[in-house]
Amino acid sequence: MPENLETLQAILTYHVVAGKVMAADAMGLESAETVQGQEITITTQDGSVMINDATVIQADIEASNGVIHVIDGVLLPE
């Protein structure tokens, strides 16, 4: 619905970090700024990479416009 467009854009851009960040690089970070403008928290737990409260379940899927990391949840901006 048109009245939800701004909310949808915020959610989608909160899932995007500019540049090409591979999983090995992400493991060395504590946070990253999203295209939406807010920070996401990056942690490791039992050998898994966590993005906020979501776990990366498949990493380093290279695409023509960057790299994709599949997570097991939806990230919601504050």
CATH number of the domain to which 16 belongs = 2.30.180.10
Read off the DSSP letter of residue 15: T
Quote the CA–CA distance of 6 and 29 in Å, as a whole number.
29
Number of domains in the chain: 1
Q: What is the pTM of this model?
A: 0.86
Assess if residue 43 is contained within a domain.
yes
Statement: residue 46 has pLDDT above 90? no
Segments forming the whole domain that contains residue 45: 2-71
Assess if residue 17 is contained within a domain.
yes
Assess if residue 66 is contained within a domain.
yes
Q: What is the pLDDT of residues 1-32, one digit of tens each?
A: 888 899 999 999 999 999 999 988 888 899 99
What is the pLDDT at residue 1?
A: 80
Any alpha helices (H) in the chain, and if so which ranges? 5-13, 23-26
Assess if residue 77 is contained within a domain.
no
Confidence class of residue 54 from pLDDT cuts 50, 70 and 90?
Answer: very high
